[in-house]
Structure 1
């Protein structure tokens, strides 16, 4: 996390005025691309996307009402994998939103989609696979869902997410020595 000013703004101001969303609802967090976020090509640098996504996932947990209870339990989110598709650049001073939603889960991971959107349309889309840990222990998905008081059905993962999941498993198997 290299955006401390934005993190403090998020924790001290934005979360206090966050709307309440359901577990599978889309969270939207507004940003502006500051010149310090941009590279020599005069657009948002590729390295900034994951940092902004961290903030947006934190905000999503706050909107769900889960950030405080999870932190009280000392549950920490860990990103296991991510994949990006860049569609169009975000220019300096451009306002945009990061839309974050849970796509689904399995016995170990949650799958999250994050979209960078402005009035010009979709700029980038990323999928993130993550889990929560506490003192080196992986928190079971069932325990997380229970703490979130989610009682609905598990959404079916889209074919592209299932393919990505298989690719990640294949990479893991190929690199185990």
Structure 2
């Protein structure tokens, strides 16, 4: 007990050390050094944690970190699930409505549907090989248009299936359909059409390379034909509004 009292006195007034025997003096100095080292260590850890927290806040405030993490996870997960040999086969991703999906009406936010469709397409194109085939041909795919129809809201905690399939293609783009199907009663809560443009290539070449044979395009449904014509009409109207001539089409 007397030793610790002396250690405290020494920390407060190091000059008191000279009044103690040499052995006690050395022990007290050693304890003081250890206390100081522990204090420095605590300060270093606190500073490091502060930098980590500050960096995380800056990162999450500047980027949609969860989007990139989720997309990466979907690709890795789909890779280990194994390939789907039929490139036109429908694929299913399972989901559920969580708290971060809700809006003020306490059902799934409209924007979340499009986000979930993004993740489902990552999984779809990974498992059927479209990503690798496009990369092998030095091509890339970008979203050119989407139209979604909401038929019934998905409530908090409700489980659903997101079904994705290629419904057609032309010389420039793939056309995909994605459906949100409630697991409660099988009702199609929302359906989205997506035009996925192919850059530096064309869909037919990608499919032929992937399947090692000629792949015939399915018959284009009436509603899809209307949607394609709508996109074309909108594009022409915007070009005319911008003063662009037909050569830039």
Shorter-chain TM range is 0.7 to 0.9
1:54 is aligned to: 118
Within 1, Cα distance between the matches of 2:136 and 2:206?
A: 13
Q: Flag the structure with higher strand content.
A: 1
- Residue 201 of structure 2 is aligned to residue 139 of structure 1: yes
Within 2, Cα distance between the matches of 1:74 and 1:36?
A: 37
Q: Describe the shift of the 1:18–1:44 C-alpha distance in structure 2 as closer, same or farther (beyond 3 A).
A: farther
Residue 193 of structure 2, aligned match among 127, 130, 136: 127
Q: How many residues matched?
A: 173
Within 2, Cα distance between the matches of 1:144 and 1:31?
A: 30
Unaligned runs of 5+ in 1: none
Unaligned runs of 5+ in 2: 1-63, 244-249
1:96 is aligned to: 160
Q: Flag the structure with higher helix content.
A: 2
Kept after mapping to 2: 8 A contact 1:21/1:27: no
Report which of the two structures shows the higher radius of gyration computed on alpha carbons: 2
Within 1, Cα distance between the matches of 2:215 and 2:133?
A: 20
Give the match's secondary structure for 2:220. Answer: coil
Within 1, Cα distance between the matches of 2:89 and 2:201?
A: 22
The two structures have a TM-score, normalised by structure 1, of: 0.87
Within 2, Cα distance between the matches of 1:93 and 1:14?
A: 24
The two structures have a TM-score, normalised by structure 2, of: 0.64
Matches within 5 A, 1:25-40: 25-40=89-104
RCO comparison, higher one (Cα < 8 Å, 6+)? 1
Q: Describe the shift of the 1:71–1:140 C-alpha distance in structure 2 as closer, same or farther (beyond 3 A).
A: closer
- Residue 93 of structure 2 is aligned to residue 13 of structure 1: no
